[in-house]
Structure 1
Amino acid sequence: MLRRIHHAAIICSDYTKSKRFYVELLGLSIIAEHYRAERCSYKLDLALPDGSQIELFSFPNAPARPSYPEAQGLRHLAFEVDDIHSCKTELEMKGIQLEDIRTDEYTGMKFVFFADPDDLPLELYERALPNDK
């Protein structure tokens, strides 16, 4: 049976720019980095604090995403955060543009969208905290 998502794989157009975005700006940890000469391709394994991972790939002449954000395939990648307002402020201070915070009409939870260097839609989603009693 499926247990959890282990990783999401992203193909970028500019490896150096995307590596900086995910490592320096978003704060993901590098697990491993490999250059695959036969493919002219980098593979960078990145970790989030819960152990989930992102694989960042570079391939020469990879086609661009067809539209934003309603192309077939992965719609967006969401990251859970404790405090959406402080995370949004921190990313904006690093020069990342984010949309306005919205509230999910079904769950009542707050979320906000932004994009990586290749306009891949990313989301911050505020986690539900247990009720204090």
Structure 2
Amino acid sequence: MTTTIAYLGPPGTFSEEAARAYAGSKPDTSYLPLTTTAAVVTAIETGAASVGVLPIENLLEGSVTFTLDLLIHEAEGLRIAGETVIPIRQYLVTRPGLTLQDITVLYAHPQSLAQCRRFVERCLPHAATVASLSNSAAPAEALA
């Protein structure tokens, strides 16, 4: 029987990494990337997925309150079945040859912007920040 794990997508996100870490080497596992936390919960409730992986907290910014609120107030009948901890490393990606001073706009997921706030304030105070749906989508948004 295939286990389908829904996660906050798109592919290449920390949530996908956590989903794969949670599954380990279990055979017959498929992954379902979804665009919102609510969609992950709905996938479990409707049977489209048997497991969902959602961000709950991180060491720098604390609780991911939207996820907690959703689980507490709207996800009736669901329970937290486990925890997976993954190391998070943020990287600044630019076109070749750019310096920090050349960067005028920084695209990233809001959680990542918050996690990197001190670096951005110190090294990129001149750059505007734009919230992206995910860090893996941010480079394409920057090039659009």
With the length of structure 2 as denominator, give the TM-score of the two structures: 0.26
Considering fraction of residues, name the structure with more helix.
2
TM-score, structure 1 normalization? 0.27
